[in-house]
Amino acid sequence: MFYISAASTISHQPTFKNAGFSNAIEELEKGSALLNPDFKEYIDSGLLRRMSKILRMSVACAKDCLRQAGIEQPDSIVVGTGLGCLLDTEKFLNNFLTIEGLLPPTAFIQSTHNTIAGQISLGLGNHGYNMTHTQNTLSFEHALQDAILLLGEDNEHVLVGAADEYIEILDEIGTAFKLAPVTLTSGSSFFVLSGRRSETSMAKIADVETIGGVRDVSSQIDVFLKRNRLDRGMIDQVFFADNLISSMPSILKKSFPGHVEYLNYPLYSGLYATNSAFGLHFAIDKMQLNRGIRNVLICNHLINNNLGLTLVQSLEA
Amino acid sequence: MGVRITGMGIVSAIGLSVAENLLSLRETRSGIAPMKFLAKGNNLLTGEVKISNEDLISRHHLKSSNISRTSLLGLAAAKEAWGNNQHNDQLRTGIISATSVGGMDGSENFYRDYIGKDNPDFRVLSCHDSGNTTERIAAELGISGYINTLSTACSSGANAIMLGARMLLQGKLDRVLVGGTDALTQFTINGFRSLMIYDDQWCRPFDDSRSGLNLGEGAAFLLLENEKSLSFSGNETLSYVNGWANAADAYHQTASSPDGKGATMAIQQAIRKSEISLSDISYINAHGTGTKNNDLSESVALKNVFGADVPAFSSTKPYTGHTLAAAGAIEAVFSVLSIQHGLIYPNLNFQTAIVEEGLIPAKRLQNTPVQTVLSNSFGFGGNNSSLVFSRNS
DSSP per residue, chain A: -EEEEEEEEESSSS-TT-TTGGGT--PPPTT-------GGGTS-HHHHHH--HHHHHHHHHHHHHHHHHT-S--SEEEEE-SS--HHHHHHHHHHHHH--SPPP-HHHHTTSTTHHHHHHHHHHT--SEEEEE--GGGHHHHHHHHHHHHHHTT-SEEEEEEEE---THHHHHHHHTT-----B--EEEEEEEESS--TT--EEEEEEEEEET---HHHHHHHHHHHTT--GGG--EEEEE--TT--HHHHHHHHS-TT-EEEETHHHH-B-TTTHHHHHHHHHHHHHH-TT--EEEEEE-SSTTEEEEEEEE-TT-
Measure A18 CA to nearest chain B CA, in Å. 30
| Nearest residue on chain A to B150, alpha-carbon basis | A133
Give the number of A-B residue pairs with CB atoms closer than 8 Å.
174
Between residues B63 and B381, the one the model is more confident about: B63
Cβ of A108 within 8 Å of Cβ of B194? The answer is yes
Q: Which amino acid is at B292?
A: K
Q: Which residues of B touch A215 (CB under 8 A)?
A: 144
pLDDT value of residue B41: 62
Query: Is the entire prediction scored with pTM above 0.90?
Result: yes
B283-322 pLDDT, tens digit per residue, is: 999 999 999 999 999 999 999 999 999 999 999 999 999 9
Residue A246 pLDDT exceeds 80:
no
- CATH, domain A206-313, list 3.40.47.10, 3.40.50.80, 2.40.70.10, 3.40.50.1450: 3.40.47.10
B106-148 pLDDT, tens digit per residue, is: 999 999 999 999 999 999 999 999 999 999 999 999 999 999 9
Cβ of A135 within 8 Å of Cβ of B166? The answer is no
Cβ of A114 within 8 Å of Cβ of B151? The answer is yes
Residue A180 pLDDT exceeds 80:
no
Average pLDDT of the segment spanning A129-141: 98
* Beta-strand runs (E) in B68-120: 93-98
Task: Report CA dihedral (A293, A297, A301, A307) to the nearest 10 degrees.
Answer: 170
pLDDT band at B253 (very low <50, low <70, confident <90, very high): confident
Percent of chain B with pLDDT over 70: 99
Measure A93 CA to nearest chain B CA, in Å. 7
Average pLDDT of the segment spanning A7-28: 97
> Considering Cα of B192, then B195, then B199, then B203, what sign does the dihedral take?
negative
CB-based contact, A82 to chain B, within 8 Å: yes
Cβ of B152 within 8 Å of Cβ of A176? The answer is no
Of the residues B111, B133, B149, B198, the best mutation for testing chain A's interface (the one with the most A CB atoms within 10 Å of its CB) is B149
Neighbours of B27 (CB within 10 A): 9
CB-based contact, A127 to chain B, within 8 Å: yes
Q: For residues B128 and B125, give the distance between their C-alpha atoms in angstroms, rounded to a whole number.
A: 5
Cβ of A92 within 8 Å of Cβ of B190? The answer is yes
Cβ of B132 within 8 Å of Cβ of A105? The answer is no
The runs of H, that is alpha helices, within B226-367 are 227-233, 261-274, 292-306, 317-320, 327-341
pLDDT value of residue A26: 96
Of the residues A75, A92, A112, the best mutation for testing chain B's interface (the one with the most B CB atoms within 10 Å of its CB) is A112
Cβ of A108 within 8 Å of Cβ of B195? The answer is yes
Between residues A51 and A243, the one the model is more confident about: A51
Closest CA to A119 of A173, A57, A68: A57
B160-181 pLDDT, tens digit per residue, is: 999 999 999 999 999 999 999 9
Measure B256 CA to nearest chain A CA, in Å. 12
pLDDT value of residue B17: 98
Q: Which residues of B touch A90 (CB under 8 A)?
A: 111
Q: For residues A309 and B1, give the distance between their C-alpha atoms in angstroms, rounded to a whole number.
A: 31
pLDDT band at B254 (very low <50, low <70, confident <90, very high): confident
Measure A297 CA to nearest chain B CA, in Å. 19
Provide CB contacts within 8 A for B392, sequence distance 6+.
Answer: B2, B240, B371
pLDDT value of residue A245: 67
Neighbours of B66 (CB within 10 A): 14
Taking CA atoms, B314 is separated from A162, A184, B120, B214, B347, in Å, by 37, 48, 45, 16, 5
Of the residues B104, B178, B267, B383, the best mutation for testing chain A's interface (the one with the most A CB atoms within 10 Å of its CB) is B383
B19-46 pLDDT, tens digit per residue, is: 999 999 999 999 999 998 888 667 899 9
Cβ of A132 within 8 Å of Cβ of B138? The answer is no
CB-based contact, A46 to chain B, within 8 Å: no
Residue B361 pLDDT exceeds 80:
yes
Cβ of A213 within 8 Å of Cβ of B147? The answer is yes
B52-88 pLDDT, tens digit per residue, is: 999 999 999 999 999 999 999 999 999 999 999 999 9
pLDDT value of residue A255: 78
CB-based contact, A176 to chain B, within 8 Å: yes
Percent of chain A with pLDDT over 90: 90
Average pLDDT of the segment spanning A292-296: 97
Residue A252 pLDDT exceeds 90:
no
Q: What angle is formed at CA B311 by the lines to CA B391 and CA B385, rounded to 5 degrees?
A: 70
B194-252 pLDDT, tens digit per residue, is: 999 999 999 999 999 999 999 999 999 999 999 999 999 999 999 999 999 999 988 88
Average pLDDT of the segment spanning B92-97: 98
Cβ of B151 within 8 Å of Cβ of A130? The answer is no
pLDDT value of residue B229: 98
pLDDT band at B382 (very low <50, low <70, confident <90, very high): confident
Taking CA atoms, A187 is separated from A36, A144, A271, B133, B333, in Å, by 10, 17, 9, 24, 39
Residue B46 has φ and ψ, to the nearest 5°, of -140, 160
Average pLDDT of the segment spanning B346-363: 96
Residue A249 pLDDT exceeds 90:
no
pLDDT value of residue B195: 95
Question: Inter-axis angle of helices B156-169 and A139-152, to 10 degrees?
Answer: 60
| Domains A2-194 and A206-313 belong to one CATH topology | yes
* Beta-strand runs (E) in chain B: 3-11, 33-34, 45-46, 93-98, 146-150, 175-182, 218-225, 239-248, 283-285, 312-314, 343-344, 366-367, 372-379, 383-390
pLDDT value of residue A302: 94
pLDDT band at A64 (very low <50, low <70, confident <90, very high): very high
Least confident of A65-74, A102-111, A226-235, A237-246: A237-246
CA A91 from chain centre, in angstroms, equals 25
Average pLDDT of the segment spanning B368-393: 93
Cβ of B115 within 8 Å of Cβ of A77? The answer is no
Query: Which of B135, B191, B195 has its CB closest to that of A212?
Result: B135
Q: Where are the domains of chain A?
A: 2-194, 206-313
What was the ipTM of the complex prediction? Answer: 0.97
Cβ of B150 within 8 Å of Cβ of A83? The answer is no
Average pLDDT of the segment spanning B357-375: 97
Greatest mean pLDDT among A76-80, A214-218, A242-246 lies in A76-80
Residue B275 pLDDT exceeds 80:
yes
Radius of gyration, alpha carbons of chain B: 19
Domains of chain B: 3-233 (3.40.47.10), 242-390 (3.40.47.10)
User: Average pLDDT, whole number, for chain B?
Assistant: 96
Average pLDDT of the segment spanning B338-357: 97
Longest dimension (CA), chain A: 65
What CATH class has A2-194?
Answer: alpha beta
pLDDT value of residue B40: 67
Q: For residues B288 and B298, give the distance between their C-alpha atoms in angstroms, rounded to a whole number.
A: 8
Closest CA to A138 of A316, A308, A314, A311: A308
Q: For residues A300 and B258, give the distance between their C-alpha atoms in angstroms, rounded to a whole number.
A: 44
CB A95 within 8 A of CB A147: no
pLDDT band at A191 (very low <50, low <70, confident <90, very high): very high
